[in-house]
Amino acid sequence: MRRTAWIAGCALALSIVGTVGFASAQAQTTLRMMWYSDGNEGEVMNDLLRRFEDKNKDIKVVLDQVPFKAINETLPVQLASGQGPDLARVTDMGGLAPYLLDLRPHLKDAAYWEQNYGPFLEWMRVPGNTTAIPGYMTQLTVTGPFVNKTLFEQAGVAMPGANATWDDWAKAAKAVADKVQAPFPVAFDRSGHRFFGLAVSQGAKMAEVNGEPQAVDEGFKRAAQLIVDWHKSGVMSKELWGSVSGTAYRGANEEFKNAQVVLYESGSWQTAQFDKTIGDAFDWIAVPTPCGPANCSAMPGGAALVALKTSTHPAEVARLLDYLASEEVAGEFYARTLFVPGHIGLAKKGITYTSASPQAAAALKVFGDAVGKLDPVAYHIQGDPNSRIVFNAAISRLGQVVVNETTLDEAYKRITADVAQQIAERKKKQ
C-alpha cells in the first residue's frame, strides 16, 4: 500500500517536472507563429500550415493562438527584451518595424513580392528603408459604412446616392432613426483609425515636419467638429465614444446586428460576422465612403504576418512565407476568411467568395472597389510609423470632449502635446 503510494507519488512528481520543464528533441526545425483571430482565420491558417508541413517534412509550424491583447501589449515588451516567436500576425507594423526581419535575401522571388505586396511593404519598413520584405498582408482592411437598408425602407426615406457627402448621410440616417426609433442614427467605431477615415475626406493630411506628424490640421479640426456636433444633435450616441476611456476600442457591431444602427462606419472585417449572425433579420449593405470637401477616401489598414528578428531560422521562415504568400494559397486564405485581399494581383482579378451569401459578396465588392479609390494621403497616414500614436491621442482626447470633460480647443492642445511627448520618449536613446 505504502509502496504503491510512493510509486504513484514519484510518477506524479516526474510527470510534473516533465511538463514544467517542457523540452523536446526534434530533428526538424520548429517555427512558432503568434496569431490572433477575429473570426475563423485561425482555423483556416491551421489548415494551410498542415498542408505546408506535408510538403516540407523538415519544418514544423506551431500556431500559438493568443488574445489580441498579447499581440498589442505584451509582444512589444517581449521583443524589447530580445524574446519573441519566429513569426507574428501584427497590426502596428510601423511601430514594430525595427524588430521585423528582412527576408529579401532568402525569398525565392523578391520581384513577385514587390509586385503584389509593394504598397503595403512600405508600412512594415523603418523610415528610410526602401527594400526590406518582412512579411505579407493577411488581410487588407478598408473603412466604410454599413447601412441597414430595411430601416430606410421602413422609414420611407430615400438613400443618399453615389457621391453623397457625410452631411447627406447624417441627415438621412437621423431622419430614418427618428421614424423607426433606432437609438443610433450614425455609429462610428471608437477608434482613431476610423476617425481618420472621416478626417481624410475632410482634408486631414498629417504632414510630417522634422519627422514628426502634425496631427491637428484644418481637416482634422473639421472632422473633430463634425463628430462633436453629431454627438450634440443626437446623430451619434455617447455610448460608443463616451462610454470607455483612453484608447479602448469599442465597436457597434452588436448594436448593428440588433438593427439599432442606421449607418455604421466600421470596415470590411465586419462582413463575415454580419453574414453569419444577421442572417435573414434585415437587409444590410456596404456603401462607398461618403465624401467630404477633400475627397471620398476611406482609410486602409490591416494585419500582416511578419517575420521577426528573434527568429534563428530565417531561411525556413522565408520558405513558409513564400508558400503562404503565393497567389494560390493567399487567394484561398482571403476567400475562406472573407477578407479583402492585400495582394495586388488578386485584387485586380477579384476574389470569389464561395462561402459568402450574396449580401456579403456584394459588400466585399464595395470594399474591394474602395481600395482603388484610396487617396494617397490615406496610404501615407496608415504607413507613418507614428500613426498609431496619433490615432490613440485623438481618440482618447475626443472621447473626453464627447462627454464634456474638456473642450475641443483644450483637446487639440492635449493631442499635440501627447503626440510630441510620446515621440520624444521614443527618441530617447543612450
Partner 1 sequence: MTGGLLRLLTLRRGGRGWHWTDVASYAYLAVGVLLMFGPVLWLVLSSFKTPSALLEFPPSLLPMAQAEVRVEGYPQPLPLFTVTMEDGSVRELAQVRRIGIAAQMVDPKEPAKTIRVPVDRRTPVRHLAFAVGNYTDPLTQFDFLRYLRNSLVVTVVATLITLLINSMAAYALSVYEFRGKSVAMLGVIGTLMIPITIILAPVYLVVTKLGFVDSLWAVILPGAATPTGVFLLRQYMLTIPRDLIEAARMDKASEWRIYARIVMPLSLPALAVLAIFSVMWRWNDFLWPLAVLTKTEVHTLPIALNAFQGELQTQWHYLLAMTVVTLLPVALVFAFLQRFITSGIANTGMK
Partner 2 sequence: MTDMMRLPEAAARRPAGLVAGGAQALMRLTDPPMRALQRLIGAARMPYVFLLPNLVFFGLFVFLPIAINIVFSMTGGTALYPAERPYVGAEQYARLLDCGSYLDPGSCQEDLFWRGVGNTLTFTVFQMVAMVLFSLGTALVLNRPIRARGFFRAVYFFPVLLSPVVVALIWKWILQRDGLLNAALTMAGGQKILFFVDPGWAMFWSVFVSVWAHMGFYTLILLAGLQAIPRDVYEAAEMDGTRPWRVFHRITLPLLWPNLLVVLVLVLIRSVQVFDEVFVLTGGGPGTATVMIVQYIYTTAFANQVQNFGLAGAASVLLGAVLFVLTMVQLFLTRRRSS
Q: Of partner 2, partner 1, none, which one sits near residue 70, judging by CB under 5 to 8 A according to partner kind?
A: partner 1
For residue 230, the one-letter residue type is: W
**Which entry of partner 1, partner 2, none binds 212, CB below 5 to 8 A by partner kind?**
none
Beta bridge partners of 61: 31
DSSP 58: T
Whole-number Å distance between alpha carbons of 297 and 295? 6
The yes or no reply on residue 426 touching partner 2 (CB under 8 A) is yes
Least CB distance to partner 1 at residue 123 (A) = 16
Site string for partner 2, 254-293 (x = CB under 8 A): -x--x-----------------------------------
Q: Total number of residues binding partner 2 (CB under 8 A)? A: 44
The neighbour count for residue 246, using CB atoms within 10 Å, is 10
Q: Residue 264 in 3-state DSSP?
A: strand
Cell triple for 288: 462607398
| Residue (70 or 159) nearer to partner 2, CB | 70
The residue (of 183 and 234) whose beta carbon lies closer to partner 2 is 183
Candidates 67-75, 291-299, 313-321, 332-340; binding stretch for partner 2 (CB under 8 A):
67-75
Q: Given candidates 392, 394, 395, 415, which one binds partner 2 under the rule CB under 8 A? A: 392
Closest residue by Cα to residue 397 from 416, 422, 414: 414
Burial bucket for residue 304 (CB in 10 Å: 0-12, 13-18, 19+): buried
Q: How far is the CB of 64 from partner 1 (least distance, A)?
A: 5
Secondary structure element (H or E) that encloses residue 296, with its range: none
Give the alpha-carbon dihedral of 159, 164, 165, 166, to 10 degrees: 30
Looking at beta carbons only, is 194 or 222 nearer to partner 1? 194
Stretch that binds partner 2, among 1-9, 42-50, 112-120, 265-273 (CB under 8 A): 1-9
The entry of partner 2, partner 1, none that residue 270 binds, CB within 5 to 8 Å by partner kind:
partner 1
Q: Are strands 284-286 and 87-90 parallel, antiparallel or unpaired?
A: unpaired
Name the minimum Å distance from CB 218 to partner 1: 30
CA 117: distance to chain centroid?
17
- Residues 21-60: x/- map of binding to partner 2 (CB under 8 A)? ----------------------------------------
Query: Cα(261)–Cα(265) distance, rounded to whole angstroms?
Result: 10
Closest CB 90 distance from partner 2, rounded Å: 12
Q: How far is the CB of 114 from partner 1 (least distance, A)?
A: 28
Among 28, 229, 403, 409, binds partner 2 (CB under 8 A): 403
Nearer to partner 2, 10 or 207 (CB): 10
Q: Which is nearer to partner 1, 50 or 69 (CB)?
A: 69
Report DSSP letters for 177-221, one per residue: HHHHT-SEEEEE-B-HHHHHHHHHHTT----EETTEE----HHHH
| Contact (CB, 8 A) for 142 and 374 | yes
* C-alpha count within 13 angstroms, C-beta hemisphere, residue 370: 33
Where do contacts with partner 1 occur on this chain (CB under 8 A)? 16, 19-22, 32, 34, 36-39, 42-43, 62-72, 74, 77-78, 81-85, 91, 149-150, 153-154, 189, 249, 251, 253-254, 257-258, 269-270, 273, 276-281, 283, 303
Which residue reads 472597389 in cell numbers? 369
* CA–CA dist 311, 24 (Å, integer): 18
Find, among 292, 239, 276, the residue nearest to 261 by Cα.
239
Site residues (vs partner 2, CB under 8 A): 5-6, 9, 72-74, 76-77, 80-81, 92, 95, 183, 238-239, 242-248, 250, 255, 258, 388-389, 392, 399-400, 402-406, 410, 414, 422-423, 425-426, 428-430
